[in-house]
Chains A and B, each alone.
Chain A
Amino acid sequence: MDFIQEYIEEAKQVLKSLEGSLLQFENRTADAEEINTVYRYLHTLKGSAGMFGFQDVERLSHELESVYSDIRDGLRQQDEFILDLALHAVDVLGDLLDGKDAVKEADKIIKDIQGIKIGTTGSPTGHSVSKEVSGGEKGFVIILSPEKEIFKRGINFQAIMDEIHELGSCEFIIHNEVVPFEKQISNKQIDSLVEVLLVCKGGLDAVKDVFLFMKPSEYMVLPIGGPEVFKSNEYQSFITLTEKEVQDRLNIINALDPTVLASESISNSIQEAPLKAEIVGNEEGEDDEQSTKIIRKSKKNGHVSVATQKLDQLINIVSELVIFRSEMHHLMEGTKNPEVDEALEKLERLTLRLRDSAFNIRLVPLNILNVKLQRLIRSVSKELGKEVEFITEGLDTELDRSMINALEAPLMHLIRNAIDHGIEKPEERSRRNKPEKGLLKFYSYNSGDHVFIQIQDDGNGIDFEKIRAKAIEKGLLSKNQTYTEKELLNVMMSPGFSTADQVTTVSGRGVGMDVVKKEITAIRGDIEVSTEKGLGSIFTLRLPLTLTILDTLVVKVSDNKYLLPISEVQFCYEEEHTKLFSKKSRQINYEGQLLPFVSMREYFGMEESTGKETVIVVNKNDTKIAVVVDSILGKLQTVYKPLNELLHNVDCFSGASILGDGSMALILNALKLKA
């Protein structure tokens, strides 16, 4: 990478930060320091642009800089017009850096800026607000004093420590370590006292759940409110610390998550997200309020940016390691050597942890979409003359980078739709006794191995009559039939359906909900809609955490193995072949409901089985179907590989995967098995 390329990368980074800072101003009046930050970004941009010969970038940032220097000095107030101009300038600067021909635009902005300076322009205001609720990390100190022979009770102490590890970030401190702790674990005799400093999102109950099998005398969990926890009687009944040791622990907690201790005393300054606070305790610690002093760091805390290629490579290696581990497991199955088993178990734990951390690297918080979404909402609501209050929650939810990229377009589309079709104009809203400002909420949260994203508006709701009429007009539905709301919503998401009365620039450009649905399905996600007329709608996206690793059920059909994603499997049971096929209807009775079933042997044209067969009830998006296979072989975590393009018409398989023994198995797409 030559210098210029490096400069462009850097300048773009600065632009991004600048854009973020500018958008902050929308919510409240800017304080002096923030204006100063914007000024500094512009100044950096200008300086380096001159050095590398980007004259237009230099000119534009110079003009903008001079405006912000006036604002900083109190000679001018930042108003909506200036903000619009600055945001527009950010786009133009980006284009200029990309080498696009945006000189004309740049000149226009410069002219506008010069206009402001003389004092001829100005504009009325209109706001949109965003609010973020943070995740709320909590700190705990845990003391474990297991009985020496805890392993003899069938409790794997290592597994308990692993579970603590999974809760959040933590640090283990081993006390009384006469025998090395690793050795104690492998000897299965614990002498030491284990102290854990843990920072996690779950509450006390979630932490205590880990110790379900331990006796009350064997563990203690204390929430960390401040340094005084290390002075409490409970704590001191196990461990007594010197001042320095207390300080060490506070430092560790801070390194794990600075907000845990900070949230107690100085919650105000923490809310400025980009700043990280570090707390330094005083020597005495007599007065808790005063014993904490804050040093503000305006630098980013140790981030390394890595080329995605390198990351992908890492993920590939880890994925193969996962496969290799399964292979190893398979090869070792016959041996009854407990030591080998143990070593394998260790390998398994480590691979899983390695896999999890490798995937974690790829995860990015949804936050990176925030700026884009806010700008979209701003411009769309202005264009349509609607007022929108944008509330976000859970933007710290993390998703695979490639997922976020794939999500961007559909999310934008949903938000555009919500503002265009959902939220009414202010006049209309006040007529309906609603606040003039429409509410748009963006929620996201983790649940199991899925991430949910909800977009909720308090607008008009979806008009089923309109959908019906339109669908009939387009020939998608028949006139004489009644349809349930669910069916109508499905039609809304089918190709070639768009209800916008007129084609506006905002929505109704020929792509509709069908494209959103297609894009979401492409990343193995689901979309669900719930709506109430006059009150608004909620769009819920359900997305897998990663794209490549899949938990599957391995099933056997004749001599072949097939995989079924476990998330789709609802119920399994064994049944005699004759009993299943005694009736002609090919249906089973599951929870009082008749379900059609497909026999895999029949489907693949193999001879009928005679003995017991296994019925698997598959539930995907509330559509159920039963699949009959010979037997279930087990559970397997596999790496999902898409099928070759030539096979894209074969829709009964959604992909392929390599099994532990190195052979290949196809992943069944049960819903498409219906002949």
Chain B
Amino acid sequence: MEAADGKEAVELFDGQPIDLLITDFNMPSMNGAELIQKVRAMKSYAYMPILLLTTEVRQEKIQQALDGNITAFIKKPFETQDFVKIVKKALK
């Protein structure tokens, strides 16, 4: 499933089973942090793995804000094979 921005994404989380959320931090209309907090608050997705893509510069700040909600951060830029490894692991 794909969504162009955070708003669109929230609509997808309507209670249907979803295995994994991968989101960027910087997005139009709703940023990654808001999206994650909204989704986490829903009962169906309380324990779903979430991967957040971030840039080096802001990592620490974001990490603090979202600690306890996120499965793993993926720093941009990343190698495809690392990304695949992390996604595979999150889906286990």
Taking Cβ atoms with an 8 Å cutoff, the residues of A that contact B are 147, 149, 151-156, 159, 163, 188, 212-213, 336, 338, 341
Q: Which of A149, A155, A336, A338 is close to B49, meaning CB atoms less than 8 Å apart?
A: A155
Task: List chain A residues, Cβ under 8 A from B71.
Answer: 153-155, 213
Chain B nearest CB from A510 CB (Å) reads: 49
Interface flags for B30-62 (1: CB within 8 Å of A; 0: not) read 000000000010011011111000000000000
Majority secondary structure, B binding face: loop
Least CB distance, B49 to chain A, in whole angstroms: 4
* 8 A–B pairs (Cβ distance < 8 Å), ordered by A: A152-B46, A156-B47, A163-B92, A212-B72, A212-B85, A212-B89, A336-B17, A336-B44
- Given A147-B68, A338-B43, the answer on whether A154 and B17 have CB atoms closer than 8 Å is no
CA distance A159 to B88 in the complex (A): 13
Among all A-B residue pairs, the 10 with the closest Cβ atoms: A154-B49, A154-B71, A151-B47, A154-B50, A213-B72, A159-B92, A213-B71, A154-B48, A153-B71, A212-B89
B9 interface residue (CB < 8 Å to A): no
Complex alpha-carbon distance, A156 and B91, angstroms = 10
- Main secondary structure on chain A at its contact with chain B? loop
Q: How far is the CB of B37 from chain A (nearest CB, A)?
A: 12
CA distance A336 to B17 in the complex (A): 7
Contact partner, A154, options B15, B43, B90, Cβ 8 Å: B90
Determine whether the beta carbon of A188 is less than 8 Å from that of B16: no
Q: Which residues of B contact A154 (CB under 8 A)?
A: 47-50, 70-71, 90
Minimum CB–CB distance for A72 against chain B, Å: 57
Residues of chain B contacted by A338 (CB below 8 angstroms)? 43-44
Interface residue? B86 (CB, 8 A): yes
| Closest A residue to B50 using CB positions | A154
Name the residue on A nearest B89 (C-beta): A212
* A213 vs B46: C-alpha distance when bound (angstroms): 17
B23: CB under 8 A from chain A? Answer: no
Q: Which residues of A contact B70 (CB under 8 A)?
A: 153-154
A152 and B47 form a contact (CB under 8 A): yes
Binding site for A on B (CB under 8 A): 15-17, 40, 43-44, 46-50, 68-72, 85-86, 89-90, 92
Known: A336-B15, A336-B16, A336-B44. A153 touches B68 (CB 8 A): yes
Contacts of B50 in A (CB 8 A): 153-154
Closest A residue, CB atoms, query B51: A154
In the bound assembly, the distance between CA atoms of A662 and B69 in angstroms comes to 40
Smallest CB gap from B49: residue in A: A154
Max chain B CB contacts within 10 Å: which of A153, A154, A336, A338? A154
Q: How far is the CB of B86 from chain A (nearest CB, A)?
A: 7
In the bound complex, CA of A134 to CA of B4 (Å): 54
Which of B15, B68, B89 is the one whose CB lies under 8 Å from A149? B68
Shortest CB distance B18–A (Å): 11
Residues of B within 8 A of A156 (CB): 47, 49, 92
When the two chains form their complex, are residues A152 and B15 in contact, meaning their CB atoms are under 8 A apart?
no
> Which residue of the partner chain B has the closest CB to A336?
B15
- Chain B residue nearest in CB terms to A156: B47
Distance, CA A508 to CA B62, complexed state (A): 72
* B46 → chain A closest CB, angstroms: 7
> Once the chains bind, are A213 and B90 in contact (CB under 8 Å)?
yes
Which chain B residue lies CB-closest to A151?
B47
Across-interface contacts of B72 in A (CB, < 8 A): 212-213
- Taken together as a complex, chains A and B put the C-alpha atoms of A488 and B24 apart, in Å, by 53
In the assembled complex, which residues on chain A have CB atoms less than 8 Å from the CB atom of B92?
156, 159, 163
A167 to chain B, nearest CB (A): 13
Q: Which residues of A contact B16 (CB under 8 A)?
A: 336
Can you add 9 more A-B contacts, CB < 8 Å, to A152-B69, A341-B17?
A154-B71, A154-B90, A155-B71, A188-B47, A212-B72, A212-B85, A212-B86, A336-B44, A338-B44
In the bound complex, CA of A163 to CA of B90 (Å): 12
- A242 shortest CB reach to chain B, Å: 36
How many angstroms between the C-alpha atoms of A156 and B43 in the bound complex? 16
Task: A547 to B46: give the CA distance in the assembly, Å.
Answer: 40
In the complex, the chain A residue whose C-beta lies closest to that of B70 is A153
Name which residue of chain A comes closest to B43, CB basis.
A338
Q: Is the CB of B68 within 8 A of A152?
A: yes
B15 partner residues in chain A, CB cutoff 8 A: 336
Q: Which residue of A lies closest to B47 (CB)?
A: A151
In the bound complex, how far is the Cα of B47 from the Cα of A156, in angstroms? 8
Q: Smallest Cβ distance from B82 to chain A, in angstroms?
A: 10
Give chain B residues whose Cβ lies under 8 Å from the Cβ of A163. Answer: 92
Closest Cβ of chain A to B91, distance in Å, is 10
Kindly report which residue of chain B lies nearest to residue A188, judged by CB atoms: B47
* A152 close to B40 (CB less than 8 A): yes
State the CA gap A188–B70 with chains docked (Å): 15
Q: Looking across the interface, which residue of chain A has its beta carbon closest to that of B71?
A: A154
Complex contacts, A147 vs chain B, CB 8 Å: 68
Q: Is the CB of A153 within 8 A of B69?
A: yes
